[in-house]
A = this chain, B = another copy of it.
């Protein structure tokens, strides 16, 4: 099986209460691909500039990530400068330079079209729709992530995306903003009425939940003792979740329930270091050990 991952590939300059880093590898498609590559074959779609470092290409390749869909364009790679205060759930953006990402026109290579799952990272809903149009008759499952910005600026397009995907990832605040509901459960139910089969609510350090029309799965977060940089935690969560589902090979709620645990544990590793540092060395054995610990805590 395999997953198509579409999203941003970026360089991030980050400041957290625990340190800072300049121009480190980031972006939703990067974090997702690095995480999911532990479980399955990832087919990456993104755009990079001429400044993109050869070592970063090599890193992606070393994880078995297919970069046929990673297009190099004249100009510079998407750049984001952000900071986290004591509340690690929220980033403050200091600078966003779209660079080559401004012209991102995601084309899915023919060789990707036998993939099982499509993951749409948090990009403009119109781009997400363009990708969906290319693959909806081919892949078995489509999941999309989004953010507040698109809810407030391009809600119509976003609602179209939501109506076409099997699963939508949102956080509490986004779910409430999208639906006008004050209580998360009610917001999730309203989102289910908009089309998707599943709604996954991410609550950062407070865990995650998955809603279908018939079922509900609730999970606390893994109790981390070390948080260095939360950037990419949401994409890594989606990567563990969908990576496990793809590897396991079916779309039953019980598989998803397990996927939720894998995503939770995978993102608990991601935040232990800056950028993709922890993912570079993470092994499937480390994930399984922490997963066993987590199962014991929540039993």
Neighbouring B residues of A186 by C-beta, 8 Å: 225
**In chain A between 264 and 299, which residues have their CB closer than 8 angstroms to a CB of chain B?**
297-299
Neighbouring B residues of A57 by C-beta, 8 Å: none
Neighbouring B residues of A226 by C-beta, 8 Å: 183
B220 contacts A218, CB within 8 Å? yes
A224 contacts B183, CB within 8 Å? yes
**In chain A between 211 and 227, which residues have their CB closer than 8 angstroms to a CB of chain B?**
216-220, 223-227
Given the known A-B contacts A206-B207, A207-B206, A209-B223, are A218 and B185 also in contact in the complex, defined by CB atoms under 8 Å?
A: no
Neighbouring B residues of A257 by C-beta, 8 Å: 299
**In chain A between 32 and 74, which residues have their CB closer than 8 angstroms to a CB of chain B?**
none
B223 contacts A220, CB within 8 Å? no
A207 contacts B207, CB within 8 Å? yes
A50 smallest CB distance to B (angstroms): 40
**In chain A between 161 and 216, which residues have their CB closer than 8 angstroms to a CB of chain B?**
182-186, 203, 206-207, 209, 216
A14 smallest CB distance to B (angstroms): 18
A297 smallest CB distance to B (angstroms): 5
A159 smallest CB distance to B (angstroms): 23
Rounded to whole angstroms, the CA-CA distance of A209 and B206 in the bound complex is 11
Residue of B nearest to A17 (CB): B182
B206 contacts A297, CB within 8 Å? no
A residues apposed to B, CB below 8 Å = 17, 86, 182-186, 203, 206-207, 209, 216-220, 223-227, 257, 297-299
Q: Enumerate 23 A-B pairs (CB-CB under 8 Å) in ascending A order.
A: A17-B182, A183-B225, A183-B226, A183-B227, A184-B223, A185-B223, A185-B224, A185-B225, A186-B225, A203-B206, A206-B206, A206-B207, A206-B220, A207-B207, A209-B223, A216-B297, A217-B297, A217-B298, A218-B220, A218-B223, A218-B297, A218-B298, A220-B220
